[in-house]
Structure 1
């Protein structure tokens, strides 16, 4: 009886709030939250958190005052403590100190609000494991947050942070830390104490250098430092023994970093100021699979690149390379070589459009060596491709290859062998496929690159749009006329190759894919492009519209400031004149800008 008496005494205060701000949470939601321990209030337009949410596990439910007979499922006194509170996509400008009344929280999601500060009471949520604060207006992180010993993941991207507390190093169980899109100019030295960290995102800040303490993060697998002001990478980063992916795009690097990181598989150094590659730096990359060097100022490739024995993808787009060393053809694992936007001499353009295999075969033919050794090399490189299932490629290179078989379908045994192997690359080029293999979706957690070129595809299945990790897709030399609208879901897609298809217009969905950096649409029947929509593709640096049916080049195309390579030759337009087109992209864009009506 005393239990009900105490409940009755507290009832007059339970859920109390001023009349002008009534609760926007129904009693049904609160009742369900008491049973499940979870409450989702995302996207409700809330300006503040209702008081009865904070007091969910403190006060007697309102219905208890009206109904004293409870069924087995309505025993509110047997309630579960709230462990998960989702408040994302509201209009919260502050969080009350009353958040301390929910000490059992393990997940607190506040992303996409208007918070400019956080209460110190957050430090009392000692069970908290996930704290999502992205897309707010935070200028600082309270020291009390650094006392949350159980915190595994904290997301702070898209805020206004200028610095971080030195106490950040106390979060020793942290595995994920996202600080991207802030105003950070430096990092606390205590960052090196986050020894459980596996993912660290520092992109889109104002960092001019990286601290040596990062070398202590021996479990970090992914480090993203893109879009900063970095001019150099400390050699100490080689101490990051687990590092597999390193993003250094859009910085001010003049040299390829010398990083003997033993596990490094993917290195992205595009959009920097690199002018030369040195054999010494390349020889450090003993496990490299993907090397992106696009949009730099590289003029010469070193002759000795054979140390890159594990390299499967090399992106050299939009550099100043005039010649290719024949030694490139000796890289045993190289499957994709991208060279668009380079002033190459001595290599026919039609050879470049035929794909990597033909180009490497051409370069191999330029190597002068004794016939006996040549036969040995050919045998060593040919035998693996003769196998129906190349287990080495799948397990070691994470590559599923079934190319040049002239097959109408892909054998199921290939997909069976790739199950649970985290395959990142698929090459089904040069077959007779009329549709995209439906079992590709089984690889969706890891697949980032697909080559389906030189087939007979008449349409692109929407299934491919489920591969949300996809960054590169090659669909050249097919029979495509359009792309599915669902392709807009591929928010990580950087390049798409559509040369030699049957497109009569610029694919509508591509205008909505702001992540695109390369669009190759040469040798189709495209008759117009919309420059006003192309301008919105702020990362687009390579656009190939050669050999199409363009009768008019709109002057506004000159406003696409991100373009570094624009191919227009082989179209029936009269202006700009062929002499201007021959001078290159800069001359064409300058001419087009001069034609814009003032």
Structure 2
């Protein structure tokens, strides 16, 4: 008898058999999906989609094959069609035509995979409203996708698309189309048929021209054509009457495009080759609020710059400007003027470093003022306090101004004169106010713009949080160190200026105010920011943190891709180096993203 025990039954072919490699999905997940209509398989390392996912609403559930009793929550026959399927951040290289079995899908997320093609039967998903295919390896878009008549959002950024089918114009209900970061050299004229489109992103491609048909997109509010090779903009773009934001940075434009778009508020034309600004182009910008012209070759500013009466922010960083026209100070709404990197002459350095307000005041001093008339008729009246009330300004411009008086209070006569006038703008700057004037609350229903800069406020009154219509507030040059949490009630606030105060940290409440597009916090003592919360401010385009106490800049700040102007000068951090900071916002954000641990 052998001294060794004979092993159990051995499969002699075991070494030649291949294991079943079909990925396994927890049955409980599929069971829950039948009830909710949503299935999230993101980040599971899938190389293919399991067959039981495609057949989720076709095959009889396992529990139905067993002789068991069902409670109310387990009635498998009351299942819901799958409407939302998330397959992002996997390793999918292909998608089966069986995707057409999920006829009820309204959302399909395939972003961050390895797809080089899409199945033709994808076009059969007629209920589909959202299709995300970004961060894949697509070289072309199958024409069948253009049959998805109910599609509202199509995101295709970060692929390798070289062209688009002419039939893309059949997506008549599409409101958002993102084609950024591809290899597109041209666009089909059919793109102009997407008349429901509101957002179109064409940035970071290889476009040298845009089709005239883009002018037919009369509902587009945001058009991003930055980082292409454009040398000209078609005149038809002036027909995009709803356009509010236009990005043309990092192209090869030599002239500021002539675009009489009546709603255009934010115009980004930085990093081009523009040498001069012409009055004809400026006259078109009737609603402009933010004009970015940084990193061009502009040498002079024309006196017609005063045509931009609605302008609040002007970025002229890194140009060739040697002199500033005094007429620049006549822009009534200009709050931010960026001039770093220009060879300016005739203006002392200390004036330039004191900020926009002091610079405009200096330029106003260059204008020869006409002697004031003794008799001003009914447009003004002299009060016992010697305050002058400009009734024309109150009744016509809806503006109440009591500035540069060095007063500790505002006379009641001013409030009496402005009663029931629907005042929208109040300027009490450059006084000695230590608190909010109580009668300011009389303008609560109508006030949009409040300037309390250059006073002696030590805390922000809770009453400010009751002005629910406010879109702009200026609190610079006070003694503030915090903001009340109730300020998050100001859901329409777009910009807040807090320069030259005593903030030691980024105000907590600002992280919650998603309407903000401008936060100016320069010349404080801020020691850090939280990029994970800052990234949630999706509208934030301008952030000034210059001259603070930032010892390090978190790399995750590079993920705040909505930022178009980030000021970090004058902080004690070592990285990024000054040479990188000098290159501007885009270079800083790209550098920071490159330092994020993987």
Is TM-score (shorter-chain normalized) higher than 0.5?
yes
Question: 495, 500, 507: which is aligned to 1:461?
Answer: 507
Distance in 2, matches of 1:158 and 1:371, equals 62
Could you list the per-position Cα deviations for residues 220-276 of structure 1 after superposition, in whole angstroms to 9, with x for gaps in the alignment? 000000000001111111000100110001000010000011111110001111110
> CA offset at residue 431 of structure 1?
2.0
Aligned equivalent of 1:100: 100
Question: 474, 486, 492: which is aligned to 2:520?
Answer: 474
Does the C-alpha gap of structure 1 residues 247 and 390 become closer, same or farther in structure 2, counting only changes over 3 Å? farther
> CA offset at residue 368 of structure 1?
1.0
- Report if aligned partners of 2:532, 2:556 keep a CA contact under 8 Å in 1: no
Aligned equivalent of 2:65: 65
Aligned equivalent of 1:418: 468
Distance in 2, matches of 1:78 and 1:163, equals 44
Distance in 2, matches of 1:364 and 1:198, equals 41
Structure 1: segments with no counterpart, 5+ residues: 1-17, 544-560, 564-598
Aligned equivalent of 1:117: 117
Distance in 1, matches of 2:423 and 2:115, equals 53
Distance in 1, matches of 2:366 and 2:221, equals 39
- Report if aligned partners of 1:450, 1:473 keep a CA contact under 8 Å in 2: yes
Q: Is 1:508 equivalent to 2:558 in the alignment?
A: no
Q: Is 1:391 equivalent to 2:424 in the alignment?
A: yes
Distance in 2, matches of 1:324 and 1:395, equals 39
Aligned equivalent of 1:359: 359
Aligned equivalent of 1:432: 479
Moved more, 343-352 or 125-134: 343-352
Aligned equivalent of 1:583: none
Aligned equivalent of 1:580: none
Could you list the per-position Cα deviations for residues 84-124 of structure 1 after superposition, in whole angstroms to 9, with x for gaps in the alignment? 11111111111001001100101111111111100001011
Could you list the per-position Cα deviations for residues 183-209 of structure 1 after superposition, in whole angstroms to 9, with x for gaps in the alignment? 001111111111110110000001001
Q: Is 1:288 equivalent to 2:338 in the alignment?
A: no
Aligned equivalent of 1:409: 459
Does the C-alpha gap of structure 1 residues 347 and 102 become closer, same or farther in structure 2, counting only changes over 3 Å? same
> CA offset at residue 458 of structure 1?
2.4
Moved more, 366-375 or 452-461: 366-375
Distance in 2, matches of 1:252 and 1:413, equals 49
Distance in 1, matches of 2:448 and 2:189, equals 36
- Report if aligned partners of 1:215, 1:237 keep a CA contact under 8 Å in 2: yes
Does the C-alpha gap of structure 1 residues 275 and 105 become closer, same or farther in structure 2, counting only changes over 3 Å? same
Does the C-alpha gap of structure 1 residues 399 and 49 become closer, same or farther in structure 2, counting only changes over 3 Å? farther
Q: Secondary structure at the match of 2:304?
A: coil
> Normalising to structure 1: TM-score of the pair?
0.79
The correspondence of residues 32-51 of structure 1 with structure 2, limited to 5 A, is: 32-51=32-51
> CA offset at residue 457 of structure 1?
1.4
> CA offset at residue 391 of structure 1?
2.8
> CA offset at residue 506 of structure 1?
3.8
The correspondence of residues 249-260 of structure 1 with structure 2, limited to 5 A, is: 249-260=249-260
Could you list the per-position Cα deviations for residues 488-509 of structure 1 after superposition, in whole angstroms to 9, with x for gaps in the alignment? 64787666544554x3x64332
> CA offset at residue 70 of structure 1?
1.4
Taking only aligned residues, the RMSD between alpha carbons, in angstroms, comes to 3.2
- Report if aligned partners of 2:266, 2:290 keep a CA contact under 8 Å in 1: yes
> CA offset at residue 460 of structure 1?
2.2
Report the count of equivalent residues: 517
Could you list the per-position Cα deviations for residues 143-196 of structure 1 after superposition, in whole angstroms to 9, with x for gaps in the alignment? 111011100110001110000000000000100000000000111111111111
> CA offset at residue 360 of structure 1?
1.0
- Report if aligned partners of 2:398, 2:424 keep a CA contact under 8 Å in 1: no
- Report if aligned partners of 1:462, 1:484 keep a CA contact under 8 Å in 2: no
Distance in 1, matches of 2:229 and 2:445, equals 37
